[in-house]
Amino acid sequence: MNAHQALVAQAVELYRSLGHYVEDVAEIDELRSDLLIRSSKDKKWVARCDSNAVIKLASVKLFLTHLNTYKAHKAAIIAPGQLTIKGRALLAIKAVEFINSATLARLQQSATHKQVAAEQASRPMEVEPEKPRKQRQRRWIRSLLFGLLVLTIILLVVILLAMNGWQPI
């Protein structure tokens, strides 16, 4: 597997782990591929995986031309390389996201944490087995007796205070 194929595999895995469906991988040339994605909300997305060291303005323009044919709702360029200043400006105007290697790694880590949290949330809760009836009755009687003891002590304190001339307000 070469570097470009590894980049495409990482991008496919990322979108799948986020709950999207990668419909197709269209290879443009040996260093560029387009991922056709159906989002979890049934929207069409396109992501260009570009393995060039520098993504130039011409490459960005070519991608934007392809976007018109795909009629995508959202788009991104995923590349380990750098994007030229003019290319970055054009992407900003067209609202296309640029994902470099560091951002891709951070998104993958975040998606992994979300998957783990979702798996933990979907596990059935462990329920404590019901205690035998006698045990529950004993606990109830103990609580009742403790409450009566506390009330008796309070009543005795009030009686003693009243005998010494204390009067409630």
CATH of the domain at 67: 3.40.1350.10
Q: Give pTM, 2 decimals.
A: 0.65
Indicate whether 107 belongs to any domain.
yes
Same domain for 70 and 11: yes
* Residue 55 lies in domain: 3-122
What distance lies between CA 132 and its chain's CA centroid? 42
Q: Which tokens hold the place of 141?
A: 């009687």
Q: Indicate if 111 and 149 belong to the same structural domain.
A: no
Domain count, the chain: 2
pLDDT at residue 121 in the model:
61
| Closest among 46, 121, 120 to 78, alpha carbons compared | 46
**Pair 90, 144 in one domain:** no
- Look at residue 116 in the predicted model and tell me its pLDDT: 63
Distance CA 80, CA 42 (A): 28
Same domain membership, residue 85 and residue 9:
yes
Task: Give the pLDDT score at 104.
Answer: 85
pLDDT at 125: 54
127 lies in some domain: no
Are residues 136 and 89 located together in one domain of the fold?
no
pLDDT at 145 (0 to 100): 93
Mark 51-83 as b/e (b = at least 16 C-beta within 10 Å). Answer: bbeebbeebbeebbebbeeeebeebbbbbbeeb
Per-residue pLDDT of the chain (169 residues; tens, 9 = 90+): 788 888 889 899 888 888 889 888 888 888 888 889 998 888 899 999 998 888 889 988 988 888 888 888 889 999 998 888 898 888 888 888 999 888 888 888 887 777 666 666 666 655 556 667 778 888 889 999 999 999 999 999 888 888 888 766 6
Q: Is 166 found in the same domain as 103?
A: no
C-beta of residue 26 within 8 angstroms of C-beta of residue 43: no
Query: Given this model, what pLDDT does residue 152 score?
Result: 94
